Amino acid sequence: MAQATQADETKGNNGSMAPLAGIGLIVLACLSFSILDAIAKYLSSSLPTLQIVWIRFVSHVLLTLVIFQVWKTPSRFKTGRPVLQVVRAFCLLGTTGFNFLAVRYLQLAETMAIMFAAPFVITALAGPLLGEWAGARRWAAIIVGFIGVLVVTEPGIGGMHWAAIYSVAAMTFYALYALLTRQLTATDSSAGMLLISGVVAALAMTPVGVSVWVMPPDALSWILLFATGIFGAGGHYLFILAHRIAPAPLLAPFIYIQIVWMIALGALIFADIPTASTLIGAAIVVTSGLYILYRERVKGL
């Protein structure tokens, strides 16, 4: 991670391999987020959701402080746009908190169906906000990927559970977080963005986290609690690096790959055997991503 930090400050946005590297980073970030969600789902059976959110950000901050040795180069963590940094931090807190709450009350399929609407929002807003307009082929790939998600999730046609509003909120905050991340990479360091978002979220959650505190029942729960910070901070650092070197509309469809990680983790950890529709939908999602990779490598979208 330290080597990546030194490299990311060079801002190699013009390199021909930068978009492909950005795609690789976002895929790894989605793996980290999937592991984070799996841990949160496991812990939510014995611990309050808001406590998990709080410790996720506390451990995020501690990890960042140690790895980047903030005390040696404090100037590197300064920002010229503190308001945007704080707004971005609350967007990260919003998407994390609401997503953890949604998983607690809803089936995973329902939360995914809503959360994966984020690429539409990101791609639609990236043009007017960032000047990064998506072409017809990229829009087509996003739509095909979303169809794959619907095949996997098989959303019902009955009444929506009241807690679905948590997933809608998580999706909205995620889209705004992604756009602000891309915007801030033009002026702020990746390490600084990672630290500031963690500090703001941890401080905001401290009163709530303390008030709902329940002692973890065993050593494994303690380990997993602090592991949320490892996978949360690690995933968002990769997320920041990806948006530093590649446009938001290019990266947006690749959050769909998270459904593949979720299928694998569900089978390994929760013994959830994928159905035929799950495998077909995952294949559609992967095909959509491979198409974007092909277009980017050959002549761009």
Band the pLDDT of 242: cuts 50, 70, 90. Answer: very high
Q: What pLDDT sits at residue 152?
A: 66
The b-or-e profile of 32-46 (16+ CB within 10 A means b, else e) is bbbbbbbbbbbbbee
Which one-letter DSSP state was computed for residue 77?
A: G
Query: Locate tokens 């019902």: which residue?
Result: 156
Q: Which 3 state secondary structure label does DSSP give 235?
A: helix
Look at 6 and 269; give whichever has higher pLDDT.
Answer: 269
159-177 pLDDT per residue, tens = 556 777 888 889 889 999 9
Q: In the predicted model, is pLDDT for residue 224 greater than 90?
A: yes
Instruction: Delimit the domains of the chain by residue range.
Output: 17-298
For residue 261, the model assigns a pLDDT of: 82
Written as six digits, the tokens of 140 are 């087509």
Query: What one-character DSSP code corresponds to residue 215?
Result: -
The residues near 30 (Cβ < 8 Å, ≥ 6 apart) are 235, 254, 255, 257, 258, 261
pLDDT band at 119 (very low <50, low <70, confident <90, very high): confident
pTM flag (> 0.85): no
